[in-house]
A and B are shown apart, each in its own frame.
Chain A
Amino acid sequence: MTKNINFVSKFKKANIISIIIFILSIILISFKGLNYGIDFKGGTLIELRTETSIDTSLIRESLKSMNLGDVNVKKFGKKGDYLLKVEQKNSNNSSLIPEIKKTLSDYLNTEVDFRRVENVGPKVSSELLQSSVIAISLALAAMLFYIWVRFEWQFSVGSIVALFHDVTITLGIFSLLSLEINLSIIAAVLTIVGYSMNDTVVIYDRIRENLLKYNKISISDIANLSINETLARTIITSVTTLLALFSIYILGGEILRGFSFAMILGVIIGTYSSIFVASPILKFFKVSYKTLEKEEEKIVP
């Protein structure tokens, strides 16, 4: 059953909401900033397990004598598991980790097991940040180019605006909740780019097809028809993807939690933007079958 919901009438309201959230996200990102993990900021991360549950403030206190600078301790998953983050200024101390271990087990008087240690020097972290920014930009550029080749430039602009919308708002929510941005979040953002694009392309494909099929109908109605025709697919695919993602979020362990959360946000925002951001832009550009015909003439003179 093809539903018949009037999406176009809700474009204006949705666009206003989108713009407000988008601007809020930019304000959050630029003023509150993003909570970069050690991948991008440098420093040391230790996931540790103690036999008995210990107050996090006690762990912080025990390390005071070492003068490590900013030390961040939080509970991590199960009882007795903690995540320790040290913002190291002088990173040349090669025996830092055994020293921390000794200090902790002496002070807390219990066996301390270091389950995971990550140490990123300042040079490497700035390189990682740089290559992540390049990767995301390149992905956006590649998408832009692909859509431009497969469709017309109006579609290309529409899909890129939708992508910017998705990525910015996802990062905005991460900023709002002070969630950590690390390499796996970047991977999630890139996957969101792919997914959101995927969703947009399906609707655009249908819009193009319908434009050629019914050349008397206005773009608003074409958009509405196309969104409705593809709605069942949009929902089913989002549901199955979300089922898989929630399974990772709940059962996949602490390490994948941030990643799957970013993906869940991205899938929801991406699905929304294909309908309420990417499609209105075609209306804004007054795309019609003539737009498509012009292109065809160019290709086949």
Chain B
Amino acid sequence: MLNFSKINIILIYFIFFIISTFAFLNFQNKNNPILDKKVNLGLDLQGGSYLLLEINSDSLVEEKIQSKVIPLKKLLKENNIKFTNFKINNSSLNFTVDNIDKFELVFFSKKDNLVNPYIDNYRSHELDFRKLKDNNIAVNFSKFGLLTINNAAIKQSIEIVRRRIDDVGTKEPTILQRGEKRILVELPGLKDPERIKKLLGKTAQLNFRLVKDNSEFGTDELISETGEKLKISKRIVMSGDNLVDAQPSIQNQQNEPTVSFTLDRLGAQKFGRATTDNVGKRLAIVLDGKVISAPNINEPITSGNGVISGNFSFQEATDLSLLLRSGALPTPLDVVEERTVGPDLGEDSIKSGITSLVVGFILVILFMFYKYKIFGLIANTALIANLLMLVGILTILEATLTLPGIAGIILTVGMAVDANVLIFERIKEELKTEKSIIHAFDTGYSKAKITVLDANITTLIAAIILFAFGSGPVKGFAITLGIGIITTLFTAYFLARHLTSIIVLRNNNKEIKI
């Protein structure tokens, strides 16, 4: 175990040198165009916000099932299936049919089925039905139908969330899908997450609807911004989808902040027609079911440009235009988890983390030197090399360093010497019975090998499981712990062994003490 071929030695130091060089990249100030790699600081160290958003698709499902009512009734009529007791529930349609077998045949027909299309990807229909009793049935979305709705909603939501966050101008946000219904948002360096949370909390569905005089069929009663009860037509004149731009502006007369918008061609046509036909009436501007304002239509607006007023502050006008520009979310988003760390706490954490790392490191080094003298120096050299390589690998992977991650490094320092301790203690034993020193070192290394491997693999298993199940900061701990084990094995079995071999071979004839 003490013989190294030249190639082996070159390879060992080459690997060590290359990997540990990366560790120093973290100290360069300027951006290096060739090797611009750095360990990322986690949100807990640099400050920032972590948000987990969940789409709330209940209202979307309700909307979608309602849109099936007319086509479904039409389908039943076309196929001469008589139905009674038709009821619309939140997520299902209930009715009684006269011939359930025939219904099933028509309902699940794969050819040109527009009411209940067949989704090839999932080999399932969009809708499903279950028998309640006799011939009474409930039609609802199948598992895969719901999945399709959720998938579409989440894809769209991620896009809108991205636009809104980019518009605010945060540096390097991370926006990822998590599972079927969740969006993970990481906003490093953000000081006040409340504004972003507010912006993401609004669906921003904008409608223009006419105000009616009497409560005829198809009106909603909503409260206006001045507290007035308004009867507003359910028919949507135009929606936010037709907006191509929105900007905050100041109305000159009253110095009032407003939102100016520009419509696309189709929107301009619709808006022009509606305002021409209804001069003198009031047009309500409804955002997420609330009336922003309901101004009079004084003259037809055909230019495709308009202004929304509504007692805004300038910030509100800015935020509303941002929301309108980015488009409406398909469903409301709930913040189900939030973790925000202020930048000064992050700095404090880095400081205390580094302090404890340095102190822990020095204590371990002193202890090892006290215990093993010259071989303690070898173990300590290996330990320093270990640390360099650990940081180097973290840099190569551009891994995220968190506060628990720093704890993982300190723990690695404490546990890394274990490999060398195991080996040295083994050699000590061998020296008692073995006359040849070289032989004693040799058997010491080979006998300790299995134990070192066994012992480290168990910790590695724990680290892998932590990585798979942990979130955020804990994942950072698992990464440093896991990589630490690998660098420990490398430094103990290659670097330290080689250094030991140099000393042993040089002092072959003298007595060696560990």
Is the A/B pair a real complex?
yes
In chain A, positions 196-255 with a C-beta closer than 8 Å to chain B are: 197-199, 201-202, 205-206, 209, 229-230, 232-233, 236-237, 239-248, 250-253, 255
Interchain CB contact under 8 A, B410 and A248: yes
Inside 8 A of B459's CB, which chain A residues have their CB?
191, 194-195, 197-198
Look across to chain A and name the residue whose beta carbon is closest to the beta carbon of B457: A146
Look across to chain A and name the residue whose beta carbon is closest to the beta carbon of B475: A187
In chain B, positions 445-474 with a C-beta closer than 8 Å to chain A are: 447, 450-451, 454-463, 465-466, 468-471, 473-474
Shortest beta-carbon distance from A267 to chain B in Å: 9
Inside 8 A of B451's CB, which chain A residues have their CB?
201-202, 205-206
Cβ of B336 < 8 Å from any Cβ of A? yes
Inside 8 A of B411's CB, which chain A residues have their CB?
191, 241, 244-245, 248, 263
Interchain CB contact under 8 A, B339 and A205: no
Give the contact stretch, choosing among B125-133, B223-231, B353-361.
Answer: B353-361
A41 to B429, CA, bound (A): 52
Interchain CB contact under 8 A, B415 and A94: no
In chain B, positions 75-94 with a C-beta closer than 8 Å to chain A are: none
A114 to B477, CA, bound (A): 25
- Name B's interface SS: helix
Interchain CB contact under 8 A, B418 and A245: no
Q: A142-B465, A195-B459, A259-B407 are in contact. Are A115 and B341 (CB under 8 A)?
A: yes
Look across to chain B and name the residue whose beta carbon is closest to the beta carbon of A198: B455
Shortest beta-carbon distance from A240 to chain B in Å: 5
> What is the interface residue range for chain A against chain B?
35 or more
Look across to chain B and name the residue whose beta carbon is closest to the beta carbon of A186: B474
Shortest beta-carbon distance from A256 to chain B in Å: 6
A138 to B429, CA, bound (A): 37
Interchain CB contact under 8 A, A255 and B349: yes
A245 to B357, CA, bound (A): 10
A124 to B471, CA, bound (A): 12
Interchain CB contact under 8 A, A244 and B363: yes
Look across to chain A and name the residue whose beta carbon is closest to the beta carbon of B452: A202
Interchain CB contact under 8 A, B461 and A233: no
Interchain CB contact under 8 A, B338 and A117: yes
Look across to chain B and name the residue whose beta carbon is closest to the beta carbon of A191: B462
Interchain CB contact under 8 A, B470 and A183: yes
Interchain CB contact under 8 A, B345 and A47: yes
Cβ of A123 < 8 Å from any Cβ of B? yes
Cβ of A103 < 8 Å from any Cβ of B? no
A194 to B407, CA, bound (A): 15
Interchain CB contact under 8 A, B338 and A119: yes
Interchain CB contact under 8 A, A251 and B356: yes
Cross-chain contact of A242 among B342, B414, B425, B461 (Cβ < 8 A): B414
Q: A116-B340, A201-B455 are in contact. Are A132 and B52 (CB under 8 A)?
A: no
A127 to B410, CA, bound (A): 30
Contact with A along B412-432 (1 / 0, CB 8 A): 011101100110010011000
Cβ of A5 < 8 Å from any Cβ of B? no
Inside 8 A of A247's CB, which chain B residues have their CB?
356-357, 359-360, 363, 410
Q: A135-B465, A146-B461 are in contact. Are A118 and B339 (CB under 8 A)?
A: yes
Interchain CB contact under 8 A, B371 and A115: no
Cβ of A26 < 8 Å from any Cβ of B? no
Interchain CB contact under 8 A, A115 and B458: no
- Name A's interface SS: helix
Shortest beta-carbon distance from A16 to chain B in Å: 28
Shortest beta-carbon distance from B496 to chain A in Å: 15
Interchain CB contact under 8 A, B334 and A135: no
Cβ of B352 < 8 Å from any Cβ of A? yes
Inside 8 A of A241's CB, which chain B residues have their CB?
411, 414-415, 418
A259 to B37, CA, bound (A): 30
Interchain CB contact under 8 A, B403 and A237: no
Cβ of A150 < 8 Å from any Cβ of B? yes
Inside 8 A of A178's CB, which chain B residues have their CB?
none
Shortest beta-carbon distance from B61 to chain A in Å: 18
Inside 8 A of A157's CB, which chain B residues have their CB?
none
Look across to chain B and name the residue whose beta carbon is closest to the beta carbon of A139: B465
In chain B, positions 346-387 with a C-beta closer than 8 Å to chain A are: 348-349, 352-353, 355-357, 359-361, 363-364, 367-368, 371
Look across to chain A and name the residue whose beta carbon is closest to the beta carbon of B455: A198
Look across to chain B and name the residue whose beta carbon is closest to the beta carbon of A252: B356
Cβ of B335 < 8 Å from any Cβ of A? yes
Look across to chain A and name the residue whose beta carbon is closest to the beta carbon of B383: A240
Cβ of A33 < 8 Å from any Cβ of B? no
Cβ of A120 < 8 Å from any Cβ of B? yes
A216 to B465, CA, bound (A): 41
Cβ of B112 < 8 Å from any Cβ of A? no
Interface centre among A115, A142, A230 (most CB of B within 10 A): A115
Interchain CB contact under 8 A, A244 and B414: yes
Interchain CB contact under 8 A, B404 and A256: yes
Inside 8 A of A256's CB, which chain B residues have their CB?
352-353, 356, 403-404, 407
A97 to B49, CA, bound (A): 14
A250 to B353, CA, bound (A): 11
Shortest beta-carbon distance from A203 to chain B in Å: 10
Look across to chain A and name the residue whose beta carbon is closest to the beta carbon of B368: A240
A237-B421, A251-B355 known; 19 other A-B pairs, CB under 8 Å?
A: A114-B342, A115-B344, A135-B468, A139-B465, A143-B462, A183-B474, A190-B466, A191-B466, A191-B477, A198-B456, A205-B454, A240-B364, A240-B415, A244-B411, A244-B413, A251-B352, A252-B353, A255-B349, A263-B411
Residues of A with Cβ closer than 8 Å to B? Answer: 2, 47, 92, 94-95, 97-98, 113-121, 123-124, 128, 131-132, 134-135, 138-139, 142-143, 146, 150, 183-184, 186-187, 190-191, 193-195, 197-199, 201-202, 205-206, 209, 229-230, 232-233, 236-237, 239-248, 250-253, 255-256, 259-260, 263
A-B contact pairs, 28 of them (CB 8 A): A115-B342, A115-B345, A116-B339, A116-B340, A116-B345, A120-B338, A121-B337, A134-B469, A183-B471, A187-B474, A187-B478, A198-B458, A202-B451, A229-B429, A232-B425, A236-B417, A236-B425, A245-B411, A248-B356, A248-B411, A251-B359, A252-B353, A252-B410, A253-B348, A253-B352, A255-B349, A256-B407, A259-B407
